Structure 1
């Protein structure tokens, strides 16, 4: 789901908790890491640990389901 900023990403992810098997937040370049640091960044919402991938501005909330993909 495309979003406008980090605040909206938090709201969308909050609404998706319990509806999706896994939630990720992607930045402009989700396949790149900050200065060679390959450790993931996380956001915590209601005791749920959500991965924030990439560099740049927050751009999308990605909802994944075990029903359709092998996680």
Structure 2
């Protein structure tokens, strides 16, 4: 979801630059918002990956403990 919004904002930013019609600060707010959304999304994906990795490791440790 955040990727879609970031792509949309980046597209609007590019369109604003290409047409030469800018609304002052708004054109720069669009790219800043897109970058912020991308950073938030990447951070969330890293947290989810870390949690899944920890769950996987805990399961492997439990299996090894039961065998040994």
TM-score, L = length of structure 2: 0.29
Identify, as 1 or 2, the structure richer in helix: 2
Q: Look at both structures and tell me which one has the larger radius of gyration over its CA atoms.
A: 2
Identify, as 1 or 2, the structure richer in strand: 1
TM-score, L = length of structure 1: 0.28
